[in-house]
Amino acid sequence: MAIDTPATRPANPRFSSGPCAKIPTFSLDNLADAPLGRSHRAAVGKARLKAAIERTRDILGIPADYRIGIVPASDTGAVEMAMWNLLGERPVEMLAWESFGAGWVTDVVKQLKLDATVKTAEYGEIVDLAGVDTDKDVVFTWNGTTSGVRVPNGDWIKPDREGLTICDATSAAFAQDLPWDKLDVTTFSWQKVLGGEAAHGMLILSPRAVERLESYTPAWPLPKIFRLTKGGKLIEGIFVGETINTPSMLAVEDYLVALDWAASVGGLKGLIGRANANTKAVADFVELHDWVDFLAHDPATLSNTSVCLTFNDARITDGATFAKAVAKRLEAENVALDVGAYRDAPAGLRIWCGGTVETSDVAALMPWIEWAFQAEIAALAVDA
């Protein structure tokens, strides 16, 4: 049976969960003012780096007494810097419900060799946050990039906690409202919600985190690229644009352009609205089709950025092969690129719905998912 192809195509087929879609107004011409061929330590370089820090503060509403630094190695580098500098002073709880959180568990337990309490949940679920002891240091991801599950709020974090909260927010920042008073260390990378270029991470420290850095020395050695203190004091230069290593000024300029665009669409509130509208377009589709569902089991924890879908048809006997075939069809039609589930996650699709994606493109993609699904189901019948 012939299956009609949808009449409308997404104008932009890029739905990758990282690096993510560039801002809708992106053009290489926007980067013409980048100070290329200049030292990042020159006045112009420092000014651009400091502007990136302060515009980040403005858009995200980060308190004035929190430090914001640009660090190497993307979000991974920022999280590792936090863990290697801060952990070990008191007991630790590690929370994981997807692959990146599991990676932080491995680093803390097997590399730092800390006797941590580890709490995990399966893909699509989240740990019992009410049972987390925030008088311990707690390391967790706010939004599970590979599981489509996010922390619903910060109510479980005590305001008078004794421990530090270390939050990997790389696919949450600029799309979800982060409770800064509950977060002591927050990290993200430019290539996620604002569609920036890779290799640069952001490290945000509360006054409590700074106090820990200046009062505690880890038992293990720290390589130069991880060091945040000197002589028992915070290296303040890192948090005004004096980076540890050489940054890409082209990538810095790209991030600044994205921040300007973010402000033009209403700042954080506007970005959250765009992500929510994109996710609703998917939710409306899921509600009408019983053969597809969200990987997230609880609507309260459904991500509005990395939206993960699973196929639920009894005719499918090999879920991984089927999902890959659907994704391959979508890519061959150039209507959705890089939408296969993460390699460690359950079989399905992963559609990025952050604010740089247009809702009209998400809506246009949905009939194509049905088309690809029906085509693969028909292929199964032929093979049978």
- Please tell me what DSSP assigns to residue 178: -
Radius of gyration of the chain (CA): 22
Does residue 336 carry a pLDDT above 80? yes
- Residue 1's pLDDT is 52
Please check whether residues 94 and 178 belong to one and the same domain: yes
Please check whether residues 129 and 254 belong to one and the same domain: yes
pTM of the complete model beyond 0.85: yes
- How many structural domains is the chain composed of? 2
The pLDDT-based confidence of 383 (bands split at 50, 70, 90) is confident
The CATH number of the domain holding residue 279 is 3.90.1150.10
- Residue 230's pLDDT is 97
Q: What is the span of the domain harbouring residue 336?
A: 267-383
Distances from the Cα of 92 to the Cαs of 169, 204, 236, 309, in angstroms?
19, 20, 27, 33
The pLDDT-based confidence of 202 (bands split at 50, 70, 90) is very high
Please check whether residues 149 and 271 belong to one and the same domain: no
Give the tens place of pLDDT for each residue, 247-275.
Answer: 999 999 999 999 999 999 999 999 999 99
Please check whether residues 223 and 295 belong to one and the same domain: no
Residue 205 lies in a domain: yes
- Residue 2's pLDDT is 64
Residue 129 lies in a domain: yes
Query: What pairing do the DSSP bridges indicate for beta strands 165-168 and 143-144?
Result: unpaired
- Please tell me what DSSP assigns to residue 304: S
Give the tens place of pLDDT for each residue, 120-163.
Answer: 999 999 999 999 999 999 999 999 999 999 999 999 999 999 99
Does residue 381 carry a pLDDT above 90? no
Residue 15 lies in a domain: no
Residue 63 lies in a domain: yes
Mean pLDDT for all residues in the chain: 97
Please check whether residues 256 and 294 belong to one and the same domain: no
Provide the 10 A C-beta neighbour count for residue 248.
16
Rounded Cα–Cα distance for residues 17 and 352 (Å): 5
Residue 3 lies in a domain: no
Average pLDDT over residues 302-321: 97
Please check whether residues 100 and 249 belong to one and the same domain: yes
